[in-house]
Structure 1
Amino acid sequence: MNPSVELPEWVSLSKNLPLDRTTKRCKRIEDGMQQLSLEHQTLPSFLFEHRQEDVHTCLIRILSVGNVQDDAQQLEWMHRHVQQTLASCTNLAPTLSRRSTTALHVAIRNYGSFRPLLQTLIEADPTMLSVFDDTGETPIHTACRLGIPLQSLQLLLSHMTPSKASLLGAPNHRGWTPFDLAWIRYLEMDDIGTLLQRHDIGGGNSLANQRLSQLFAKLLTETVDHILQSEHRDSAMKAVAPMMNVISCLLEASVTHPDEESTQYRIHQAFQVVSCWDGLPLIPLPILQLLLVQYPHQVEWADQHGKLPLHYAVSIRPRPTKHERSIPPAELRRYVQDVLNQYPQACLVKDAVGRLPIHYCLENRNNETCDNCVDWIVKDVMLACPAAIEIVDPVSCLYPFMMAATDSNLSLELLYMMLRFHPQCLPSSVH
């Protein structure tokens, strides 16, 4: 032993002690180390001592201890103590009602790839999925913004009830929905983050919000155009596939009345989400274009209602909405054109009640705030398949030209065009 090394006092004293006393002293030290190790296997006392805090505060405190995603020992330690804390509480609702940020928000931020932990928290209190934090984000917003693994996101979405599907279209305080946040993360738009920090959108700066929406739309369009016009489209689509899988999961969860048979109808779901306006997200046209490239065969599929995507596309209307990126009437026509160009024969396909796409397009209860956009859409459908205007609508029992004549929002020019195409419909209808 090196004599220059200073030894602890108990070691130097043990030289003069009998062997049994030295052994006992070493045994006490060993017992002390074992006790210290045991304390680390249970919930640390400093999390509770001298504190009057609710269960959610305690959970957040535990979940804020480190964020090493690949440390299996730490993850198991975290999960075990979360389970112990939840076991000590029979009802989390009273404590949840008094706060915004939940334990689920924190768990997604620090341990979003650890599914067992997320599963435990959701099963303990599913209402955490519908809570908005101080930034106006639900846990789904946070998950899309941080880009947690797809399986973890699917776990969160699987616990979303149909009545809460509208939350997937709710914008946060900065105006972004989960769909937007998924794209922003994929595009790695650093300038978007800088702009978000510079403009207080939550403070009501509508001009800043409008500029950000325009920037988002421009970058999104440029990216998709680059993919669609690329010589190596297949490889480009493979590169964007992980993000499109996230979009597909959000679409499936956004359908308010899910059906087992309709889970694979991605194009149908996209148009349904676009056509809904009660707080649901409005899918940007570039995303829909990518879906059409990814699932081209689905434009010919009829869902459980006998509807093709075109039936849903012609039902879209630009209704008033709080969402900053609602569909401009000028772009509404392109939603129909994209699916119509891919499968024009859909104009003559009847759904389960016998209606054609043009019948849905001419429903006057939908045409209140559309300016001239429906005129152009009806013309597109009519030119793609003129025979469609000869078929009577089984619901209203009217010919398409008669449906157009009863709608004051449609132009007389459209009515005359229908009659010029098929003037023989007029005598038969009078008779």
Structure 2
Amino acid sequence: MNERVITPLHRGFLFLDAHPTGCRAAVEQMWKSVAAPRCSAHAARRPTVLVIGSSAGFGLAATIVALARHRAQGVGVCLEKAPARRTGTAGWYRTAATADLASQADLPFVFVNGDAFSDTVKQQTADVLNRRFGPVDHLIYSVAAPRRTDPDTNEVYTSAVRPIGRPHTTKTLAFDDGRPVITTVTTKAASPAEITQTVAVMGGADWQRWITTLAARGLLADGITTCALSYIGPPLIERIHRKGTIGAAKAHLQDTADAWNALLAARHGGRAFISLNSAAVTQSSTAIPGIALYLGLLRGVLGDAMASPTAQMVELWDQLTGRADLRTDPQGRIRLDHRELDQATQDTIAGRWHSATNDNIASLADLDWLTSEIHRLYGFDVPGVDYDTASDVDIPWPATAD
């Protein structure tokens, strides 16, 4: 046992350590917030699920909801670092907590720690499915990573969050001194190579490779449903998001969904979707210029009506499993962003965005909530945790053996 008192040291939005007890408490609170399973015809057989990107953000929420609400079995895949000189990553501790809760609920679920982009991890995951669970009923794809190695060529692609066509200047929040401060940042336009590489990392190529791998191993169940989690965002941030390199990658993701929806329907009676989620504070979203300011303003306008990732994943899973009617837009996308993109809401946020200064931002945005959410990503500022007490950092990875 290696116990120590852990303090929230950080560089901007990136924290150097994670708090094991706080990460566990955050997962427990997410689990408790999910309504107990309801009796229905859909509960006759336990679904087998595969969540790619299961340790953070929407992927973590999707995993917890699948377990706590739908009594699922299956596999979660993520890439996390073990404790060493620093603590383990927050996702390491969140995964250990999720595994413990699943075990307590008698829900068989295995976590594979490795690079989801690699064929080795894909085959390792397929081996676990083949040995323990059988074909996958639901595959959720929620991967956010800065780079990807192409398994065929070994070329390393690096994503770039940039506008396309011309530079973009935007308001944003700096977080260097523990309190968000409005500043301005200019991002240069993406080169053709940066667009191509960002699509290679964040587009649909890896999602497609996962589906192809499972199909080759006979691990796609009849009626398979797969869904990639995405975000479209409002006009305020479209130059850096929807109309930037990220948008090009998301367009490729949509093309992948369309192609696989037709193929899965023909071969397995299955479906492929994109889920457009509502904005949330995640480790990946805070890296995008302007997003943190937008999130604070969004919370300031919506308050508690702003849906958490867990609440959104309840809505998504209920639709995917037939507990609720499936609601898609004309492009066939599942929309969970209706409250955020309501026109009146966006008009109010836009007005606050343009008038925001460091003198009045506290009255326009919920900075206390934003700061707390950023801390919670790493297990800090979680209610009920005594941060003056030493915490054991040497938490083992959940066992993957039978």
TM-score, length-scaled by structure 2: 0.21
TM-score, length-scaled by structure 1: 0.20
Name the structure, 1 or 2, with higher relative contact order (CA <8 Å, separation 6+): 2
* Higher strand residue share: 2
If you compute each CA radius of gyration, which structure gives the higher value, 1 or 2? 1
* Higher helix residue share: 1
